[in-house]
Copies of this chain bind each other. A is one copy, B any other.
Amino acid sequence: MINFQCDYAEGCHPILLEALTKTNMEQTTSYGCDIYSKNACAMLRTACGSEDADVHFLVGGTQTNATVIASVLRHHQGVVSADSGHIAMHETGAIEATGHKILCIPSEDGTISAEQIEALCHEHFTSPIQEHMVQPGLVYISFPTESGTLYSKAQLTAIKKVCKAYDLPLYIDGARMGYGLVSTACDLTLQDIANLCDVFYIGGTKCGALFGEAVVIINEALKKDFRYAIKQHGGLLAKGRLLGVQFEALFENGLYFDICRQAIEHALAIRKAFEDKGMQLWGTSYTNQQFVILTDAQMKRLTDLGYEYEVWVPSDVGQTVVRFCTSWATTAENTQRLIDDIKAL
């Protein structure tokens, strides 16, 4: 089988594995207080252009989202999100399990707009019965979104402005941050992200690490006691240096961006193959997730050829939206083979 189903089918990038192997028998302080974690934090602060930022490493995305969101909100507050947001759809109610409602905004392509957030907040804060409703307390967006789309600098700036007006922190889920930043469709840098939000995370799991997400807290008011929150959510890894070692390796010499860039090249080549074949793409992703509408026959054929892909949503009768996902681990050989097989469909 050739896996284009997701971006977490392999282990980690060989350079990270090497670093883990090299440091394996060293004795370090636990729970993220080791020298590797400290060094990785410093590297990330520099990469973000935010020397005052707090950086923390957690294990996985759902854990990270629940930890950040619960840490920011008071009990009567909820988090604003696209209805297709990962927290709203695919985290088994991890946010609600911390007591907080997700205030959903309808989204076609995974993004929400400044206007939508403004409308939701305006409606809430001008309601005479506002205390009967969950108060917006945080805005959550993902970059890239679950559909592979991106916010432009202008869009993100507009969202930040609305958030500021309503005194709402802005949180960016960057599970695939690397794939977003190096996309040909992206006009934002990591520093821009840091400048335009209050807290965000840089995903490791899907971008070359065995596991691990780096939370970057920019807003001073959100920094206090975050390690308590991590521990309460089971995210304070005993051998925290595993996270430090990996993020050090990822941000040494720009490896993180290089390997993501390569994934994007594979993805766009596959995208072009679909287009050349006249197949209908779904959405407008220029990141590592490519969505295409396949007929039942095409699905069968590709499956028979040994490809694994993700069934996304039903389309018209006899047609299905499926996702092909590249990653840091996608080989040129597999991509070329897929392109050839698309041509021959």
Contact = CB atoms under 8 A, between A and B. Distances in A.
Interface of A: 1-3, 6, 8-12, 14, 17, 20-21, 23-30, 59-64, 66, 70-71, 74-76, 78, 89-94, 96-102, 129-135, 205-206, 210-211, 225, 227-239, 242, 329
B21 A17 contact: yes
A94 B232 contact: yes
Contact of A62 (B62, B90, B234): B234
A308 to B, nearest CB: 8
A78 B62 contact: no
A91 B229 CA distance: 10
A63 B234 contact: yes
Contacts of A64: 234
B98 A99 contact: yes
B132 A239 contact: no
Q: Is the interface of A mostly helix, strand, loop or mixed?
A: loop
Given A11-B239, A59-B59, A97-B232, A70 B75 contact: yes
Contact of A239 (B90, B92, B205): B205
Specify which of A8, A133, A232 lies most central, judged by the most chain B CB atoms within 10 Å of its CB: A232
CB-CB nearest 4 A-B residue pairs: A63-B234, A11-B24, A76-B228, A3-B27
B92 A228 contact: yes
List the number of copies, as a whole number. Answer: 4
Given A11-B24, A71-B74, A205-B239, A62 B231 contact: yes
B30 A10 contact: no
B17 A1 contact: no
Most buried by B among A10, A96, A234: A234
12 contacts: A17-B24, A21-B21, A60-B236, A61-B238, A66-B234, A76-B229, A89-B133, A92-B232, A93-B101, A131-B225, A132-B236, A211-B242
A132 B71 CA distance: 15
A332 to B, nearest CB: 14
Contacts of A14: 24-25
B92 A60 contact: no
Given A11-B20, A92-B232, A234-B66, A225 B59 contact: no
A234 B236 contact: no
B96 A238 contact: no
Contacts of A231: 62, 76, 91-92, 94, 131-132
A171 B100 CA distance: 23
A229 to B, nearest CB: 6
Contacts of A91: 132, 231-232
A234 B232 contact: no
A224 B75 CA distance: 12
A17 B25 CA distance: 11
A11 B30 contact: no
B9 A30 contact: yes
Contacts of A225: 74, 76, 131, 135
A130 B25 CA distance: 28
